[in-house]
């Protein structure tokens, strides 16, 4: 950073992202990361089958309430901390530079694992689709690598291009799901319309911790609205509005859509249908209610939805790396901005290479792209994000208690505290049921913490420790750099 700073304003501008994204564009970016059709077609059936059965739709509503409470404090911070970086920056302001750096690494773990998990699932879907159309039987990992290449090209260019691509794909995938819901309601469903998914007994049935993991995972990405601060138009208004819109919109849509899936087959039959083949459940449902057109359309849109998801997460991760580089904790070159595309192009290239390496490792290990790559690493990402948001909630409370910059008790104390409680309880449930998700169970189907569970859970512990260790090293060995870190993260 010193060399760039010595070149004056011109160099500084080359490290600053710019743009004019409005509320709608940012909402498209983060909702696309949530990937509505991927959630409804892939995660929701698994949430019902492995989680709490027909009570699963209610967990989307519960998750939305918890995350909306968290979003209140997050929105307050965006108004008083005018810097991108989201959790990385906000935790640093509230709880200190070391904890801020640790949170940055947890965020990197979250977005890297969720992105690579979807790359695995998408590679599998593409390989099956190509073969079903009469093409060669290509390995899933080859299709994943091809997808990474396309995402890398789009991520290298200006953010406006990505937002336009994501906007078109998002409208299409949401549209077909809403069309299915309308037809299900109009037809009265398979066994009549009811509120059975919201009955307390059904919500608490089965393995609610696994169900909650799938539910919270569906929201990952909404908090990234703050990452796009430098590229937003009127960020003090745009970012809070986009955050609230994303949480409320995602929550309503997922709750309604998953309820529609239960009604489409009936509370007494839906789990049996899902068990036959969770991967094709959404296709069978579309074929039943929208006919051949719906079946073909959802096949195509499921692929584009997953593509939109990985493209959005790629943009998020590259901007996290960009913020961390400008704070002096990642190589300086990652903070560079392309002169023409105004994108963090070096960071984008590094993220592309990271994804390639991880997919290659999974392929060499012979992991199943859906049951292992997708399920395992989506679980890691969900637990990590729940912990990260809980820490951020504490940071919000501490920051405003210390600075007195905002006297609104609801925004700075009550809502963040309630969100913290909900997130901690969610994280505890996810840990308790984590072995079931990865297949570590005894003969009776009870969770047992085996090698796989401990390894995956260990990632969530080891990664932030690396952040603390890095902060200590910078402080002791490079005090001048630590001073810059202080200025970059917290004021």
Instruction: Write the pLDDT tens digit of every residue in 402-461.
Output: 998 888 999 999 999 999 999 999 999 899 888 888 877 777 767 788 888 999 999 999
Phi, psi of 336 (to 5 degrees): -70, 150
Sign of CA dihedral 136, 124, 118, 308: positive
Mean pLDDT of 145-166: 75
State the average pLDDT over residues 206-233: 76
Check residue 10 and give its pLDDT. 37
pLDDT tens-digit series, residues 36-57: 888 898 889 989 998 899 999 9
Into how many domains does the chain fold?
Answer: 1
DSSP bridge pairs for 21? 232
pLDDT at 232: 58
- What pLDDT is recorded for position 3? 40
- Max avg pLDDT among 26-30, 299-303, 320-324: 299-303
> Is residue 139 over pLDDT 50?
yes
Average pLDDT estimate for 92-119: 89
pLDDT value at position 8?
36
Average pLDDT, the chain: 83
- Give the three-class secondary structure for 21: strand
Pairwise CA distance, residues 20 & 235, whole Å: 9
Better pLDDT: 366 or 97: 366
Q: Mean per-residue pLDDT for 321-334?
A: 78
What average pLDDT does the segment 163-192 reach? 85
User: What is the reported pLDDT for 401?
Assistant: 93
Q: How large a percentage of the chain has pLDDT more than 70?
A: 84
How many angstroms from the chain centroid is the CA of residue 287? 29
DSSP state, residue 444: T
Q: Which residue has the higher pLDDT, 324 or 455?
A: 455
Which of these ranges, 133-147, 194-208, 343-357, 392-406, has the smallest mean pLDDT? 343-357
- 355 falls in which pLDDT band (50, 70, 90)? very high
Domain assignment of residue 332, given as a range: 2-489
Higher-confidence residue of 394 and 250: namely 394
**Cα(166)–Cα(178) distance, integer angstroms:** 18
The whole model's pTM is what?
0.81
The pLDDT value given to residue 28: 67
How far from the centroid of its chain's Cα atoms is residue 328's Cα? 25
Which of 206-215, 346-355, 459-468 holds the top average pLDDT? 459-468
Contact 247, 67 (CB under 8 A): yes
| CATH assignment of the domain containing 238 | 1.20.1740.10
Give the pLDDT band of residue 489 (cuts 50, 70, 90): very low
pLDDT of residue 440: 77
User: Residue 45: CA atoms inside 13 Å, Cβ hemisphere, count?
Assistant: 22
Inter-residue contact 177 to 250 (CB < 8 Å): no
Band of pLDDT at residue 83, cut at 50, 70 and 90: low
pLDDT band at 242 (very low <50, low <70, confident <90, very high): confident
pLDDT in tens, 461-477: 999 999 999 989 888 88
Q: What pLDDT shows up at residue 132?
A: 79
């Amino acid at each position: 950073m010193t060399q760039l700073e010595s070149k004056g304003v011109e160099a500084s501008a080359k490290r600053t992202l710019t743009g004019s994204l409005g509320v709608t564009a940012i909402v498209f970016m983060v909702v696309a990361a949530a990937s509505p059709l991927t959630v409804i077609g892939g995660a929701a059936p698994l949430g019902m089958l492995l989680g709490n059965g027909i009570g699963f739709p209610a967990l989307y509503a519960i998750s939305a309430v918890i995350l909306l409470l968290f979003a209140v404090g997050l929105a307050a911070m965006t108004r008083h901390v005018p810097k991108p970086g989201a959790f990385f920056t906000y935790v640093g302001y509230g709880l200190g530079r070391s904890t801020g750096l640790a949170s940055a690494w947890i965020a990197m773990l979250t977005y890297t694992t969720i992105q690579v998990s979807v790359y695995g699932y998408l590679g599998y879907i593409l390989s099956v689709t190509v073969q079903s159309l009469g093409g060669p039987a290509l390995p899933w990992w080859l299709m994943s690598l091809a997808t990474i290449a396309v995402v890398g090209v789009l991520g290298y260019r200006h953010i406006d291009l990505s937002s336009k691509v994501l906007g078109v794909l998002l409208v299409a995938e949401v549209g077909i799901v809403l069309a299915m819901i309308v037809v299900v309601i109009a037809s009265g469903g398979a066994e009549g319309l009811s509120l059975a998914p919201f009955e307390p007994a059904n919500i608490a049935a089965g393995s609610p911790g696994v169900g909650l993991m799938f539910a919270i995972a569906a929201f990952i990405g909404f908090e990234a609205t703050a990452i796009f601060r430098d590229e937003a138009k009127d960020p003090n208004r745009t970012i809070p509005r986009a955050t609230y819109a994303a949480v409320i919109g995602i929550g309503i849509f997922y709750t309604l859509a998953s309820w529609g899936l239960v009604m489409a087959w009936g509370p007494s039959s839906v789990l049996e249908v899902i068990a036959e083949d969770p991967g094709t459940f959404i296709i069978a449902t579309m074929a039943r209610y929208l006919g051949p057109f719906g079946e073909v359309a959802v096949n195509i849109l499921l692929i584009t939805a997953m593509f939109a998801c990985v493209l959005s997460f790629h943009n998020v991760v590259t901007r996290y790396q960009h913020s961390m580089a400008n704070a002096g904790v990642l190589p300086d070159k990652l903070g560079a901005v392309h002169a023409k595309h105004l994108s963090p192009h070096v960071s984008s290239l590094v993220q592309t290479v990271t994804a390639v390496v991880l997919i290659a490792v999974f392929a060499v290990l012979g992991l199943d792209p859906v049951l292992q790559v997708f399920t395992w690493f989506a679980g890691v990402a969900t637990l990590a994000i729940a912990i990260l948001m809980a820490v951020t909630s504490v940071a919000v409370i501490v920051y405003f208690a210390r600075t007195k910059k905002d006297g609104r008790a609801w925004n700075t104390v009550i809502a963040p505290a309630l969100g913290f409680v909900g997130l901690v309880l969610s994280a505890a449930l996810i840990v308790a049921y984590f072995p079931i998700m990865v297949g570590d169970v005894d003969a009776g189907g009870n969770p047992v913490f085996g090698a796989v569970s401990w390894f995956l859970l260990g990632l969530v512990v080891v990664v932030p420790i690396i952040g603390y260790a890095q902060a200590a090293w910078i402080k002791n060995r490079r005090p001048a750099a630590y001073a810059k870190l202080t200025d970059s993260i917290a004021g």
